[in-house]
Amino acid sequence: MNPNSKALLVFFLVILSVLAFNASGVSAGGDDTCLSCHGQEGAPHYVDPDLYSTSVHANNGCGSCHRDISGFPHEAQSKDIPIERRMNDSCASCHAGAAEDFQKSIHGQLYNKGIDAAANCVSCHGSHDITGAVTKMEIAEGCASCHSGEPMETYLESFHGKAILLGSVKSATCTDCHGNHDITGPADPDSRVAPDNVPKTCASCHGQARDGFADGATHLSIRPEGKAAPVYYTEKFFTWLTILVITALTLHIEIELYGQFRRAGKSDDRKGGEE
Amino acid sequence: MMSAEKKYERFNLQHRVQHITFFTSFIILALTGLPIKYAGTGWSMAIAGAVGGGDNLLYIHLFGASMMIAASINHLLYLAVGAIVGEFSLAVVPTPKDFKDLYHNISYQLGLVKEPPKYGRYSYKEKFDYWAVFWGMFIMAGSGIMMWFPERAAGLFPKWFLDAARSAHSDEAMLAILAIFVWHFYNVHFSPRVFPMSFVWLHGKLTRREMEEEHPLALPEYEETEKRRAAREAAREANKHMTDLNAGRY
C-alpha cells in the first residue's frame, strides 16, 4: 500500500465515522418521537426515558429492535406472538454468533419448541435497561429469577457462592461453570457440566483438571444419602460434639461459680473471694 | 508486699511468644472466618466491605492461618529441641489423676469435701485446653490447607471428602470459638479469682502463694528449676571471674 492510498483510506474512514455519528443522531430523533408517547408514564408499553438513556443501546434507535414498527401512528401489534419472540430475532440480526449459540442451548431448544417461558435474550439481558458489565452477584441473581430454590440456595452455601456474596470478583458465578449462550444440562455429553467434562471446566480456573473435582456433588444439598452423606455425618458429629463439650464446660463453670459463692459466704474461708 | 514475695517462672519467653502469636492469629481468623460462615448477613457484609471485599477478607484469613500454622510448627520444633537437649517434659500428658482431680474438684465446689485437689504443673483444665488446641490444629489446618490449594487437594482426595473437610473446618471453628470465649475466657478473665485478667501470659510469673494454691505438687519441681537456674548463673559468674583473673584484670 503506497502512502497516497493510505491517506485516502484514512480520509474515507473519517468521512464514514462522521456519517455514522450523524446516522445515530437521526435515530435519536426518532426515539424522541417514540418516547413522546411511550415515554409518558401510564402510556401503553411505557419506557422510562432516563433508564433507556443508560442502556448500551441508547443510541441505536427504537426501530433497531422494534423492526416491525414504522411510521406514526402505527398499528397495534398482534398479541399472537409474544414480544420477546419478536425481540429474539431482532437481537440475532446484530448478535449473530450469540444467537447461533443460543439455538444449541437448552434454553434455545425449549424456546424453539414453542415454550414461551424458556429463557430468551431479554430474560437474561433485560431490554430497555440493557447494560454491558454486570457483577457476578447480578449474574447469579439473574439465573435465580428462574432457578431459585435448591440451585441458588446450594450455590450460596458453596465456597464460590459465599465469596461472590461477600463481593469477590474472582470467584465463580453460575456462568463460569455452566456457560452462557450455549448452556446445556449435564445430560448433554458436550455440556460443561457433564460429569466427564467437569474436571476440565474446573480447570478453566483451577489450573489442572483433576478427576477428584468430579467425584462429589457440586450443588450439594446436605442429606444423609449419596455423595452428600459424608458432609451430613460430619456436620452431625460436630454439632453433637459442640453441644456436649460446651454444655459440659458451662456446667463446670457454673459449679465453680457456685463453689466460689458458697465459700465467699463463710467468714472462716474466703479463699478465692478476696484475691 | 507483692514485690517481696518469691516468684516462679511458669512460662518462659518461648511459651509466651507461642501463646501471643497463637491468640493474635486466632482473633484474626475468627474475625475474618465468621463473616464467611455467615455470608450474606448485614454484619458479615459490613466486615467484608471494611476490608475491601470478599477477596481481601479471604487474604487476611490466609494471613492469619499462616501465622497460626507457623506458631504450631514453632511449638513442635520447640518440643523437638527440648527432647534433644534433655528438657522435654511429659507434664501435660493426661493421667488417671486428672480424672480423680476433676471428680475431687467438683466435690469440693459442691461442698462435699473440705480441701481442693492439689494440682501438678498443669491442672486437668489446662491439659484439656492444650489438647483441644492440639487436635483442633490438625482439623483446622488440615481442612484449611485443602481449601487453600484445591487443585492439589483434588488430586489427592475426591470432592465429597473435600466437602466434608470444609464442613469440619466451619464446625470445628465454631467449637473452638465457643470454647475460647466461654471456657478459656472464664478461666483467665471472668473468674472472680483472676478478674479482670490473669497476667501470667505477659510476665510468665506466679507468686509463691499462687503456686501453693494452684500447683502445689509442682513446687519442688519449680524449686529445682529455680535452683538449677541460680546454679547456672553462679557458674557463669564464677567463670567470668576466673577469666578476668586469668587475664590479669584485677
Q: Given this model, what pLDDT does residue B116 score?
A: 94
Distance CA A178, CA A124 (A): 14
Q: What is the DSSP string of B181-207?
A: IIIIHIIIIISTTTTT---HHHH-EEE
Cβ-based burial of A214 (10 A; exposed 0-12, middle 13-18, buried ≥19): buried
Q: Which of B40, B111, B160 sits opposite A165 (nearest CB)?
A: B40
Q: Given this model, what pLDDT does residue A1 score?
A: 54
Distance CA B136, CA B119 (A): 25
Q: Which phi-psi region, left, alpha or beta, contains residue B182 (left: φ > 0; alpha: ψ -120 to 50)?
A: alpha
Q: Given this model, what pLDDT does residue B224 score?
A: 87
Q: Given this model, what pLDDT does residue A235 score?
A: 96
Q: Which of B151, B242, B213 is nearest to A273 (CA)?
A: B213
b/e map A126-154, b = 16+ CB within 10 Å: ebbebeeeeebbebbebbbeeeeeebbeb
Q: Given this model, what pLDDT does residue B232 score?
A: 86
Note whether A275 and B130 are within 8 A (CB).
no
| Alpha-carbon distances of A118 from A16, A102, A104, A121, A143, rounded to whole Å | 40, 12, 13, 10, 12
Q: Given this model, what pLDDT does residue B98 score?
A: 97
Note whether A246 and B175 are within 8 A (CB).
yes
In degrees rounded to 5, what are phi and psi of residue A2?
Answer: -85, 160
Distance CA B50, CA B42 (A): 12
* Furthest CA-CA distance within chain A: 113
b/e map A180-196, b = 16+ CB within 10 Å: bbbbbeeebeebbbbee
Chain centroid to Cα A171, Å, comes to 13
Q: Given this model, what pLDDT does residue B20 score?
A: 97
Say yes or no for a CB contact (<8 Å) between A246 and B175. yes
Q: In DSSP terms, which residues pair with B206 in a beta bridge?
A: B8
**pLDDT tens, A163-221?**
999 999 999 999 999 999 999 999 999 999 999 999 999 999 998 888 888 888 889 88
Q: Which residues of chain A have pLDDT under 70?
A: 1-4, 13-30, 267-275
Q: Given this model, what pLDDT does residue A16 score?
A: 62
pLDDT band at residue B25 using 50, 70 and 90 as cut-offs: very high
> In this structure, what C-alpha cell is assigned to residue A231?
458432609
In degrees rounded to 5, what are phi and psi of residue A16?
Answer: -60, -45
Contacts of B36 (CB under 8 A, 6+ apart): A162, A166, B44, B57, B58, B61
Element (H or E) spanning B133, and its range? helix B124-148
Chain centroid to Cα B219, Å, comes to 22
Task: Quote the percentage of chain A above a pLDDT of 90.
Answer: 52
* Comparison of pLDDT for A3 and B118, the residue scoring more: B118
Q: Given this model, what pLDDT does residue B1 score?
A: 42
Q: Which of A153, A250, A256, A271 to mutate to test the interface with B (most CBs of B within 10 A)?
A: A256
Mean pLDDT (chain B, rounded):
93
Q: What is the DSSP string of A107-173?
A: HHHHHHTT-TTS--HHHHH-STT--S---HHHHHHHHHTTSTTHHHHHHHHSHHHHHHHTT-SSS--
Q: By the CB < 8 Å criterion, does B146 face chain A?
A: no
Chain centroid to Cα B166, Å, comes to 25
**Residue A84 C-alpha, separation from nearest chain B C-alpha, in angstroms:** 33
Q: Given this model, what pLDDT does residue B16 score?
A: 96
Q: By the CB < 8 Å criterion, does B175 face chain A?
A: yes
ipTM of predicted assembly, 2 dp: 0.89
Report chain A residues whose CB lies below 8 A from the CB of B194: 275
Report chain B residues whose CB lies below 8 A from the CB of A214: 159
